[in-house]
Amino acid sequence: MTNSLHAAFAAIANVGDEQELKLALTDKISEHFGVQHWGISFIDDQSKTEIDVSDIPAVCLQGNPIGRYVVERHAPAHEQLILSEQDWKHICPRHDHEHVMTGPIVCDGRLVGTLNLARAQGSPPFDGNDLADLSALCIHISAKIATLRAKPQIIKPSLPNPLTPRELEIAELVAQGLTNGEIAARLWISQNSVKQALKRMFRKLGVSARTEMVTKLHSTITRNL
> How far apart are alpha carbons 13 and 145 in whole angstroms?
10
Q: How many residues does the chain have?
A: 225
Two domains, one topology: 2-150 and 165-224: no
> How far apart are alpha carbons 186 and 38 in whole angstroms?
8
Radius of gyration of the chain (CA): 18
Give the pLDDT confidence score for residue 215 in this predicted structure. Answer: 84
Sort 45 into a burial class: Cβ within 10 Å, 0-12 / 13-18 / 19+: exposed
Give the pLDDT confidence score for residue 157 in this predicted structure. Answer: 40
Mean pLDDT confidence for 205-210: 89
Tell me which of 13-17, 44-48, 191-195, 216-220 is least confident: 44-48
Question: Under CATH, what is the fold of the domain 165-224?
Answer: Arc Repressor Mutant, subunit A (1.10.10)
What does the domain layout of the chain look like in residue ranges?
2-150, 165-224
- pLDDT category, 150, cuts 50, 70, 90? confident
Name the pTM for this structure: 0.64
pLDDT in tens, 94-143: 777 888 899 999 988 888 888 989 888 889 999 999 999 999 999 999 99
Which CATH superfamily groups domain 2-150?
A: GAF domain (3.30.450.40)
> How far apart are alpha carbons 36 and 101 in whole angstroms?
12
